Amino acid sequence: MDYLFYMSLHFSELVTFIIAYDIVCQWSVHLRWHMSELDHSFHFLDGHMHIIYLVPKFHLPMHIAACHTHFSFNFTKGVGHTDGEAPEQGWAEVNPLAPSTKEMLP
């Protein structure tokens, strides 16, 4: 996950990112340390980028109360009425394809 994240941002010219992830409250805690363990070329979170970590609205109620305020879309300026669930909304349409992968299991 960390490598994919770094490679997604590495060549971007944007300075502000909003990251929505089901467990971002845990994942983001050691993000800079994980990055320091990778090759030096990944050390780009040097203060020039502003990253906002949020938990998608559907997943937030399952988190502890501290997450409800700190990682909420509702209290974040600039996100509008975003819920952070867009990547998962297409899964229902893809579910009929699941049987085609059944034979690929060990």
- Percent of the chain exceeding pLDDT 90 equals 0
State the maximum Cα–Cα separation within the chain, in Å, rounded to a whole number.
Answer: 48
Are 52 and 76 contacting, i.e. CB atoms less than 8 angstroms apart?
A: yes
Check residue 59 and give its pLDDT.
Answer: 86
Could you tell me the residue range of the domain that residue 42 belongs to? 2-104
Check residue 104 and give its pLDDT.
Answer: 64
Check residue 47 and give its pLDDT.
Answer: 65
pLDDT digits 0-9 by tens, 2-53: 777 777 877 788 888 888 888 888 888 887 777 777 766 666 666 677 888 9
Query: How far is Cα 35 from Cα 15, in angstroms, rounded to an integer?
Result: 18
**Number of domains making up the chain:** 1
pLDDT digits 0-9 by tens, 72-92: 988 888 888 888 777 777 777
